[in-house]
Amino acid sequence: MLTQIATGQQKNLYHTPPANAVKGQNLIISTSLVDISSPIEAVLYYKTSLSDSYLEISFINKGFNWEATIPKFAITDDGLEYVIVFRFSQDRILSYPRIDPFNNPYSLQVIENPLEQKSSLSNEAAEILILSPDIGEVLEPKEVFIAASFFLTQNIDESSVRVLLNDTEVTSKIIFEDDILSYSPNSLTRGDYAIKILMKNKEGDSIRPFSWGFTVGQKIKQSKNVVSYKGRVSNRLSSERISGSVLNVAEVQGKFNMDFNWAQLDVVNRITSRETPYLQPQNRFGGKFKFGNFLKVSFGDFYPRMNEFMIDGKRVRGLELNTDFKWVKFDFIQGELNRVVQEQRFSNGGYRLNSSLSTKNNDGTFTYFLDRTGYTFKRNIVAAKLSSDLFDRFKLGVHFMSVRDDTNSVKLNLSNAMFSSDTLVIGITPGQYNFDTFNSAVKGVGSQLRVVSSDWSGKKPNDNLLMGFNFGTSFDDKKLNLDFDWNLSLYNRNTWGGALSKSNLDTALDDSLDGYIGQQYDAAGMKIDGDVISISQIPFDPLALEDVFILNTNMTPLVPYDINSNLLSGLINMPSSAFRFSLKGNYTNSKILIEYRQIGPEYVTLGNPFLRNNTRQFTISDRASFFKNKLFVNFGFKHLDNKILRTTVNPLNTNTFFANFNFILGPGLPSYAISLQSIGKNNEKTKLDSVGGSIIDLREDSNISNNMFAVTIPIKAYGIMHNVTLNMGNITNLDNLSSKRDVGYLFPKTDTRTIALNITSEISKDLNTISQVSQTKLDIPSVSNNSLQKTSYVWTNLSSSANYRLVDDRILLKGTLTLIDNNSKIRSQLIGFRGGIDYNYRSNLTASLMSFIRINYIGNNKGLSYEEGFDINSSGIIFNINYNFNNEPKAS
Amino acid sequence: MIKKLQKRKIIALFPLFLCFAMAGEKIAVVTKIIGKAEYVREEKSPKNLKRGFVVENGDEILTKAGAFVALVFIDDRSALKIREKSEVVINGKKNVNRISKKIDLNNGTIRAQVKTNRNFLVQTSVSVASVKGTDFWVISNDKVGDSIIGLEGLVTLSNRISGEKIDIKPGITGISSNDGSLQAFKSDPKNTPRDLIQSDGQDKKLEIIFKDSAGKQKKLIIDYK
């Protein structure tokens, strides 16, 4: 894959990373493709900085941009790393970062919500008591009376107290005397209201605002609803033409929630026209039934997160059970990770004529064999976890998981699968056939046709068994947490043929049926001393364990434990083990992490295919805040290597120092973000290698400097509020061995410079605009005429968008104009327009229409052989309807 | 001599000063009114009570037929609900961070919902109810005596005539009679007054959505009556 990525670097993937991610908020990652055909897959892989496994989300084509939304649950204090991968036909891949992306994901700092920060500049919290109305109370319009007591507050500057009712200032209408704040609104229309009290202490520092909400509406004297429900139905119809390919999609999505007071039911579904039997399911149907706090049953599609070394967010279709009886918790999963796919919709996508198996019969005729291709086995999963939280202090748990491909799920016979026949089939015209037509043709020339019944040349069936345990405890009033996870995997990469018996084991590694595994003999038939295992020493018959795990020679590892090492070392360094030890401190102004994790080179979990194995990683980091949370600093060090096995000769060491600074000074003041990262890599190799008579340089000793600076300045000019954001970043690579290398050596790392200026303006309450200017420059190295050259690729992006509300906010007009200038070996421009309208027919029924067109222009290019002129790069129209419903009392 | 006289005057007048000083202390806010209610301050003529009225130490509240008044104390959100045809004097003494409350119930029915189990006393001509719990009704009838209906927590009911004491638990009604007797028996729901600003004894649920330190959204559900 990495090679493919490396060879795909000449294509144009345009992406400016955001300055940071905001904790607890979804993050939209946006990227653009310039002058390239439509990808067959566009995926964003993301993970926390501490995790080794990626979760994946598909990008959605939004016309100019491709967008993927990282869900807010993934945006935590642990930081965020992501990789963008676009896959094209013929195995072409574009990625961001461009080089070795999964080992060098883009790292993004996670900051606190600036809006919340603005309102919590001081950690002080005023002890205000709500007197009226109660939180969430439903009042008749004439009953509304707002009162709060400051009796218990100290150090409040009473003159600084401001009151907002639904963000409207009502300070001038309040009465504030003798510690009692009161306000009687004359008349409030029905709806939800939020009261916010802003204040400062006597030192002039803002104190965390105090707020609560209530509802003005029809008070229900006695609710008759035993069951409340709410839901949403939305649809999307889109017709898009992108680089000549037309894509029409119709989707209906729904969410439904029922609350029985004693239980809740949540159902989510998506029905899409993209559903096809040739791929994994695109439709989604899932539900969750919660019974109190101790039982949760999920069914359909769900995304279990048991353990990052087992399964961590990958979709399962089946059943999940979670029970929590405080001291004892039990989690169970049963379902399928992959559904069966019988074939692909192209020639040789179900059958392939396997000429290598063709045999000539004694009578001169031939027997030809069709092999199965294009299938995916149904992949079943069963997992369970038993854990306990003793005395709210000690955590213990054991877990196991079994994932197995069902070889019976794929059909042997396909009636319509087309395959090609070539001249090797004697007497039959080369061309496209299905089974029946080809069988007839083969019989017509007196030969025979067979279908290979097992061990097909397509994907091999896998079996995976994992088990492990964890324990943890906390200290210092739960501020310091110690955790340890240990896991062991057994993986069989080809289960065709099933498990070996004891007698099969005897001859698995040697040819002698002598009661020993691995016993070698000299020419005289005498035993050669060595590590041998007597069959009688094996306490079980692998065949008897077939239902648990299929043991055969395709198993990895063949013997999980190194019997020659000492007990502790053998356990720790088992190649198929993965473990993690962490110490986390969660203090008011400091979040400290010390962690060591090791994933053996043969550790495999099919529940988390992006888990990176053969790694040892040590991390120490701290996220601290200073100056009453105005300054956040995240700094630390990571060491990563693959030196687990003693046999590793040239381990790749990666040392990363990072420091991120976020200054959030206060409301209406600038904020700054600075990110500094230095990555050093070396493989301890000092000499050149000789391969096939030629000398190659595989030494690695490099430094990557990845720096980013962003500033956001709120400016008010002529009554208009602007937010100006300047974002500058660069990635610089340095080869520390450049002076010692051959002139023609290719140091294949790309330097990048980005600068972006973004201006958000709120011209009026109805009109706001966003303008952006950005430029990205890549210096891509290549070797030409035995010398290193760097080719510059420069993308300049100008865009402006505006939103305009009218008819009492019922209509929202949206428009975006974009110009992208692509300046590399050739020069081209993309001009795009995107426009749409949102219409709120009712508060619970909205519709939106969006259309876009993008035009590509290629200029003269100094006579280079490109056709000059305009062409429509992409265009489309997207229509959405959203409908919300519930049986809750209406506020109006 | 003159100095001695002045000193005596000062000593004699001190309680008066104290009364004035305390009389002005604002201790509660009227948050709800149904029907007609009045207040009497410093023995002046009754005035109409309105929502938002700030109750001062010593204020007397009078409710007319069909009326209902709810007030909340500003130190701990303890609530006092006064039903129709009641006469209540609200006394409170401000300390550093709390108000010691004494409710003089001359006649009528009140419900006390006490947030902190100290410094809350309900006194009638016959009985004293000192609060160790959180929620109870007091029905005072100057002809027959008082009834205390425990809803939550514990209330110690004292008969001022006999000096006897009895603890009233939830679900128990204590009768304190003019003859000095004290009795306790199981409450009859039919005799429990109706709280006009609470749905009829139904459990209510308050859901508060908040985020934890990891940014995960969580829901705190508080069931209350």
Contact A617, A639 (CB under 8 A): yes
Q: Is the four-CA dihedral A106, A112, A113, A115 of positive or negative sign?
A: negative
What tens digit of pLDDT does each residue of A28-84 get? 888 877 545 567 678 888 887 767 667 778 887 765 578 888 888 778 777 788 888
Grade residue B200 by pLDDT with cuts at 50, 70 and 90: very low
Q: What is the pLDDT of residue A293?
A: 77
- Indicate the residue of B72, B208, B215 with minimum beta-carbon distance to A131: B72
- Euclidean distance between CA atoms A715 and A670, whole angstroms: 9
Q: Which member of B32, B199, B217 has the closest CB to residue A221? A: B199
Q: How far apart are the first and last CA of chain A?
A: 58
More confident residue, A850 or A157: A850
Instruction: Decide: helix, strand or coil at residue A689.
Output: strand
Six-digit token string for B2: 């003159």
* Residue B217 located in a structural domain: no
How far, CA to CA in Å, does A287 sit from each of A86, A234, A321, A383? 31, 17, 12, 19
CA atoms within 13 A on the CB side of A263: 8
Average pLDDT over residues A171-183: 84
Average pLDDT of chain A, as a whole number: 83
Domain harbouring B58, CATH code: 2.60.120.1440
Residue A540 in this model has a pLDDT that exceeds 60: yes
CA distance A425 to A440: 13
pLDDT, residue A839, reads: 92
| Angstroms from A395 CA to nearest CA on chain B | 19
Query: CA angle A427-A429-A435, nearest 5°?
Result: 95
Q: Assess if residue B222 is contained within a domain.
A: no
CA distance A50 to A311: 16
Average pLDDT over residues A666-674: 79
Domain spanning A2-111: which CATH class is it, in words?
A: mainly beta
Neighbours of A193 (CB within 10 A): 20
- The residue type at A314: K
Judged by CB atoms closer than 8 Å, whether chains meet at A177 and B52 is answered as no
Residues in chain B: 225
Quick one: DSSP state of residue A627? T
CA distances from A694 to A690, B112, B133 (A): 6, 94, 90
Average pLDDT over residues A820-840: 87
Q: Is the dihedral of CA A526, A528, A533, A537 positive or negative?
A: positive
Res. A667 pLDDT band, cuts 50 70 90 = low
Are B74 and A135 within 8 A, CB to CB?
A: no
| pLDDT tens column, A78-133 | 778 888 888 776 666 778 877 667 767 777 777 766 545 433 344 455 678 888 88
A579-617 residue pLDDT tens: 999 999 887 778 899 999 999 988 999 998 778 888 899
Is residue A795 within 8 A of residue A14, CB to CB? The reply is yes
Dihedral sign computed on CA atoms, order A737, A743, A746, A751: positive
DSSP assignment letter at B22 = H
- Does the pLDDT value for residue B5 go beyond 70? no
Q: Which DSSP string corresponds to A306-372? A: EETTTEES--EEEEEEEEE-SS-EEEEEEEEEE--B---SSTTSSEEE-GGG-EE-TTS-EEEEEEE
CA distance A610 to A163: 51
Q: Is the pLDDT of residue A843 over 80?
A: no
Kindly state whether residue B2 falls inside one of the protein's structural domains: no
∠A182-B21-B76 over CA atoms, to 5°?
45
CA of A157, closest CA in chain B: separation in Å?
Answer: 18
Token pair of B52 as six digits: 């938002």
B→A interface, C-beta within 8 Å: 26, 29, 31-32, 51-52, 54, 72, 74-77, 97, 99, 199-200, 202, 205-208, 211, 213-217
Q: Is the pLDDT of residue B208 over 50?
A: yes
Q: Which segment of A108-112, A343-347, A669-673, A873-877 scores lowest on mean pLDDT?
A: A108-112
Closest Cα in chain A, distance from residue B36 (Å)? 15
Proportion of chain A above pLDDT 70, given as a percent: 90
C-beta atoms of A223 and B202 within 8 A = yes
Top-confidence range, A400-404, B24-28, B152-156: A400-404
Pairing of strands A394-406, A378-390: antiparallel
Closest Cα to residue A773, out of A832, A833, A720, A821? Answer: A821
Find which of B74, B80, B223 to mutate to test the A interface (most A CBs within 10 Å of its CB): B74
- Chain-chain contact of A132 with B29 (C-beta, under 8 angstroms): yes
Biggest alpha carbon–alpha carbon distance for chain B: 76
Which tens digits make up the pLDDT trace of A418-456?
A: 999 988 888 888 999 999 999 999 999 889 999 999 889
Q: Tokens 């514990």 belong to which residue? A: B154
* B-interface mutation test, from A23, A75, A80, A132, most B Cβ less than 10 A away: A132
What is the per-residue pLDDT for A99? 65
Confidence of residue A479 (pLDDT cuts 50, 70, 90): confident
Q: What tokens appear for A686 in the block?
A: 């000092």
Q: Where would I find the H helices in A573-692?
A: none
Q: What is the ipTM of this complex?
A: 0.71
Residue B21 clears pLDDT 70, i.e. is over it: no
Nearest by Cα to A397 from A480, A309, A278, A527? A309
pLDDT score of B224 more than 60? no
Instruction: Tell me the C-alpha to C-alpha distance, in Å, between residue A714 and each of A90, A199, A711.
Output: 48, 22, 10
Determine, for residues A132 and B31 on separate chains, whether the beta-carbon distance falls below 8 Å. Answer: yes
Q: How far apart are CA A344 and CA B189, in angstroms?
A: 72
Q: Which of A277, A236, A227, A214 is nearest to A256 (CA)?
A: A227
- Provide the pLDDT for residue B221: 58
- Bridge partners (DSSP) of residue A632 are A625, A662
In whole angstroms, give the CA distance from residue B47 to residue B41.
Answer: 9
The answer to the question of residue B115 being in a domain is yes
Cα torsion at A679, A683, A685, A686 (round to 10°)? 10
Return the pLDDT at A582: 93
pLDDT of residue A15: 76
Cβ of A135 within 8 Å of Cβ of B199? The answer is no
Tokens describing residue A151:
């009796």
* Least confident interval from A215-219, A260-264, B37-41: A215-219
**Cβ burial, residue A47 (10 Å; 0-12/13-18/19+):** buried
CA–CA distance, A245 with A667 (Å, rounded to integer): 48
Q: Are A392 and A475 in contact (CB under 8 A)?
A: no
In DSSP terms, B62 is beta-bridged to B38, B87
Question: Rg of the Cα trace of chain A?
Answer: 32
- Is B10 within a domain? no
Residue type, A84: I
Please name the member of A175, A180, A222 whose beta carbon is closest to the beta carbon of B74: A180
What number of other Cβ atoms are within 10 A of residue A648's Cβ?
A: 14
The rounded distance, in Å, linking the Cα atoms of A305 and A308 is 7
Q: Which residues of A149-175 are buried (b: 16+ CB within 10 A; e: fewer)?
A: bbbbbeebeeeebebbbeeeeeeeebe
* pLDDT given at position A657: 94
pLDDT at A284 over 70: yes
Residues of B in contact with A75 (CB under 8 A): 215
Q: How far apart are CA A812 and CA A836, in angstroms?
A: 8
CB within 8 Å: B26 and A73: no
Number of domains in chain B: 1
CA A664/CA A628 separation, integer angstroms = 10
A179 vs B31: CB contact, 8 Å cut-off? no
Encode pLDDT of A705-725 as tens digits.
989 898 988 888 887 888 898
Residue A664 has pLDDT above 90, yes or no: no
Which of A145, A228, A264 to mutate against chain B (most B CBs within 10 Å)? A145
Identify whether the C-beta of residue A516 lies closer than 8 Å to the C-beta of residue A506: yes
H-type alpha helices, A712-788? none
What pLDDT score does A563 carry? 63
Residues of chain B neighbouring A586 (CB-CB closer than 8 A): 213
User: Quick check: bond before A277 cis, omega within 30?
Assistant: no
Return the SS3 of A741. Answer: coil
Identify the residue among B34, B57, B72 best suited for mutation to test binding to A, counting A beta carbons within 10 A and taking the highest. Answer: B72
Q: What does the alpha-carbon distance between residue A16 and residue A9 come to, in Å, rounded to a whole number?
A: 17
CA angle A740, A742, A743 (to 5 degrees): 115
As beta bridge partners, residue A335 has A318, A381
Q: What six digits make up the tokens of B50? A: 């309105």
User: At A500, is the secondary structure helix, strand, or coil?
Assistant: coil
pLDDT band at residue A298 using 50, 70 and 90 as cut-offs: very high
The whole-angstrom distance between A823's CA and the closest CA on chain B is 42
**What mean pLDDT comes out for the span A819-835?**
86
What is the percent of chain A with per-residue pLDDT over 90, rounded to a whole number? 30
Q: Domain range spanning residue B52?
A: 26-198
DSSP type of residue A226? S
Q: What is the pLDDT of residue A851?
A: 92
